[in-house]
Amino acid sequence: MINAPVSRPSVLKRVAWAGVGCVAFGLLCGPGSGVAAGLGEQLNTQLLHGVRWSGRLGLYDFQRDHNLNQPFPGNPTQDPNGGYDVGSVAIGGNIYAQTGQIYGLSAGLGYSFSEALQDKEDYNSNLVGPAGHYRTLNRAYAQYNWPGVRIRAGRQNMHTPFASDDQFAFIPRSFAGFSISARPLDFATHRDRSVDPGEQRIAPADYNNDLLMPMSFHDQRQDKPKWQVYFARMYKFESRSSSHFQDGNRYVPDTSGFYTLGTHARQSTAHGDYIAQLWHYNFNDTADLQYVEAGYQLPALAVSDGFDGIKPFIRLQYTHESEAGQAKLGPIDADVYGAKLGVRSAHFGLSVVGHYSPTHEGSFRGGQVAHPYTDLSGLFYTDTMNDGVGDLGPGYGYGVRANVRATDEFSLFSRYIRYVARYGQSHDFYDTSGPQGFAANTPITHNQHSWGWDTGVTLSLSMISPVLEGFKLQDVLGVTDFEGSHRFYDNRLRLFYKF
């Protein structure tokens, strides 16, 4: 457990010396000869002319009717006749730059922005913040690659189960610190770089984590597992509703970040497809969390002429959490068990999902998982757009999800989940100021029922004209209902260009 205070100057000094060491090591041991003579040419090719741009720009329309099912039943601080509808139309996006690689070294920058197209008092803060606009430099890192290893320091995005970007609007959650990714099976065989076709630019290898570890019908067979190990120590973070990096987390304002160590692996074989991941987190002075998941997909069944068959699959997950360090949220004791059972074909998927979370009297919200750096991200199988076990706490949920991929340009999904929360407080998820982290002013409803229904469609406009390659139109509607509350409608319409 790492909870000792960390001196900022000493941290920066260690990062600086690490950077100097990486540069020296790369220059001395990098590929090729005549290092000094070739350095100028390398700088010109990889850095000055080797920058590659990527990102997404778009127009979003987010509308929320009875936002968060407000007003909360029995809450005396809210006006029962007040207006709880919020919405915004905005332009924005993410622009990323990545240099080529020189002696293993490269760098990246990322700028994100969002601007409301009309002035109003009730902005949708998820989209444009409380002031109606965002502008942030949320990526600024240096990295060093060696066959099978990547070391990155600075502002960066993360893709891990309980610390991730959670990007559904323009602004992703970002972190500041350092991370190390390693693929042990690639140490001896992987050159960790590729030369862009027709150029001499060396592209750094991609070491992003396989966050949700999706399975597909057409997974390519592999002669060895794709296995990655990941460690990160982050000192600050920038939330999706802020334009600056800050200490603490969503619950506690004065902590020095967190560390995580995890591993994930997948392999597709003639006998089926396998996935597994295991993670540990220490959220300083808040919680220790363990997460494990495993899944298996059978080879295709019922194959015939003109039909590729179906593949049944099963996935299981488990989460355990306890308090850590100074325990600034108080005692924490949480367990969540999840299961997903389904079948998929080349164009259709259907699954049933469920979770169970036992009560733990005297702990945070009676046994709820504290998740300082994620929101309803789809990690738990029963998550819907605005409801899920991560915020409902102990209880259970069950439901069904269907996916249709008619063509490469057109897809849709729908899911319906029912929940029972042992200590329900409607949608008052974000107030933890009461005893044991419960909302201070909303009465507890024991065994409170709720449900969530989401449906969405995505259309690639290239199906209309090749000129529109990269443009997508997407609309997702989420409906959440708590007994005794107003029904919450959340619609997110997106038109964007990905490059």
Residue with the bigger pLDDT between 270 and 81: it is 270
What is Dmax (Cα atoms) for the chain?
A: 76
The chain-wide mean pLDDT, for the chain, equals 90
- Mapping DSSP to helix (H, G, I), strand (E, B) and coil, where does residue 184 land? helix
The average pLDDT across 419-445 equals 96
Distances (CA, A) of 471 to 171, 407, 474: 19, 16, 10
Short-list 150, 130, 154, CA closest to 142: 154
Cα 166 to Cα 230: distance, rounded to the nearest angstrom: 19
- pTM (predicted TM-score): 0.90
Q: Answer yes or no: are the C-beta atoms of 382 and 338 closer than 8 Å.
A: yes
**Residue 30 predicted with pLDDT over 80:** no
What pLDDT is stored for residue 33 in this prediction?
38
Residue with the bigger pLDDT between 190 and 266: it is 266
What pLDDT is stored for residue 48 in this prediction?
74
In this structure, the strands spanning 488-498 and 287-297 are unpaired
Residue with the bigger pLDDT between 192 and 243: it is 243
**Residue 415 predicted with pLDDT over 50:** yes
Residue 426: partners with Cβ closer than 8 Å, 6 or more residues away: 69, 72, 73, 442, 445, 448, 450, 482, 484, 485
Cα 203 to Cα 51: distance, rounded to the nearest angstrom: 10
Residue with the bigger pLDDT between 243 and 439: it is 439
Cα 112 to Cα 94: distance, rounded to the nearest angstrom: 4
What pLDDT is stored for residue 217 in this prediction?
94
Is residue 75 a part of any domain in this protein? yes
Is residue 1 a part of any domain in this protein? no
Q: pLDDT-based confidence at 338, cuts 50/70/90?
A: very high
Helix (H) or strand (E) holding 125: helix 125-128
**Residue 41 predicted with pLDDT over 90:** no
Is residue 179 a part of any domain in this protein? yes
What pLDDT is stored for residue 314 in this prediction?
98
> What digits encode the pLDDT tens for the residues 363-403?
999 999 999 999 887 899 999 999 999 999 999 999 999 99
Cα 386 to Cα 487: distance, rounded to the nearest angstrom: 12
If you average pLDDT over each of 164-168, 192-196, 305-309, 478-482, which comes out highest? 478-482
The average pLDDT across 309-332 equals 97
Cα 284 to Cα 4: distance, rounded to the nearest angstrom: 9
Q: pLDDT-based confidence at 7, cuts 50/70/90?
A: very low
What pLDDT is stored for residue 196 in this prediction?
62
Sign of the dihedral defined by the CA atoms of residues 459, 126, 428, 86, in that order: negative
Q: pLDDT-based confidence at 194, cuts 50/70/90?
A: low
Q: pLDDT-based confidence at 444, cuts 50/70/90?
A: very high
As given in the structure block, the two tokens for residue 121 are 């008092």
Question: What percent of the chain is predicted at pLDDT more than 70?
Answer: 90
> What digits encode the pLDDT tens for the residues 252-311?
988 999 999 999 999 999 999 999 999 999 999 999 999 999 999 999 999 999 899 999
What pLDDT is stored for residue 8 in this prediction?
43
Cβ atoms within 10 Å, residue 304: 7
What pLDDT is stored for residue 50 in this prediction?
86
Helix (H) or strand (E) holding 105: strand 105-116
What pLDDT is stored for residue 129 in this prediction?
82
Sign of the dihedral defined by the CA atoms of residues 334, 162, 425, 252, in that order: positive
CATH number, residue 349: 2.40.160.10
The average pLDDT across 242-259 equals 90
Residue 421: partners with Cβ closer than 8 Å, 6 or more residues away: 392, 393, 394, 395, 445, 447, 448, 450
Distances (CA, A) of 176 to 151, 183, 247, 256, 457: 14, 23, 10, 11, 34
The average pLDDT across 168-172 equals 91
Distances (CA, A) of 322 to 74, 247, 284, 424: 31, 21, 12, 21
As given in the structure block, the two tokens for residue 47 are 């850095």
Q: pLDDT-based confidence at 190, cuts 50/70/90?
A: low
What pLDDT is stored for residue 11 in this prediction?
44
- Mapping DSSP to helix (H, G, I), strand (E, B) and coil, where does residue 425 land? strand
The mean-pLDDT minimum among 202-211, 316-325, 328-337 falls in 202-211
Cα 465 to Cα 459: distance, rounded to the nearest angstrom: 12
Distances (CA, A) of 196 to 100, 199, 470, 492: 10, 5, 20, 37
> Bridge-partner residues for 133, per DSSP?
115
Question: What percent of the chain is predicted at pLDDT more than 90?
Answer: 76
Cα 447 to Cα 423: distance, rounded to the nearest angstrom: 6
Residue with the bigger pLDDT between 41 and 75: it is 75
Q: pLDDT-based confidence at 18, cuts 50/70/90?
A: very low
The average pLDDT across 18-46 equals 54
Residue 429: partners with Cβ closer than 8 Å, 6 or more residues away: 68, 391, 439
- Mapping DSSP to helix (H, G, I), strand (E, B) and coil, where does residue 347 land? coil
Q: Answer yes or no: are the C-beta atoms of 292 and 278 closer than 8 Å.
A: yes
**Residue 62 predicted with pLDDT over 60:** yes
What pLDDT is stored for residue 115 in this prediction?
95
Beta strand residue intervals within 284-310, DSSP E = 287-297
If you average pLDDT over each of 125-134, 202-211, 392-401, which comes out highest? 392-401
Number of domains in the chain: 1
Cα 73 to Cα 162: distance, rounded to the nearest angstrom: 30
What's phi and psi for 118, nearest 5 deg? -150, 145
For residue 243, give its domain range: 8-498
Residue with the bigger pLDDT between 471 and 190: it is 471
What pLDDT is stored for residue 277 in this prediction?
98
> Bridge-partner residues for 115, per DSSP?
91, 133
Cα 63 to Cα 245: distance, rounded to the nearest angstrom: 27
Distances (CA, A) of 351 to 292, 314, 370, 382, 403: 20, 9, 27, 11, 9
Helix (H) or strand (E) holding 82: none
Short-list 185, 99, 112, 97, CA closest to 149: 185
The average pLDDT across 199-209 equals 85
What pLDDT is stored for residue 3 in this prediction?
44
Is residue 384 a part of any domain in this protein? yes
**Residue 456 predicted with pLDDT over 80:** yes
- Mapping DSSP to helix (H, G, I), strand (E, B) and coil, where does residue 69 land? helix
Angle at 384 between CA 336 and CA 324, to 5 degrees: 35
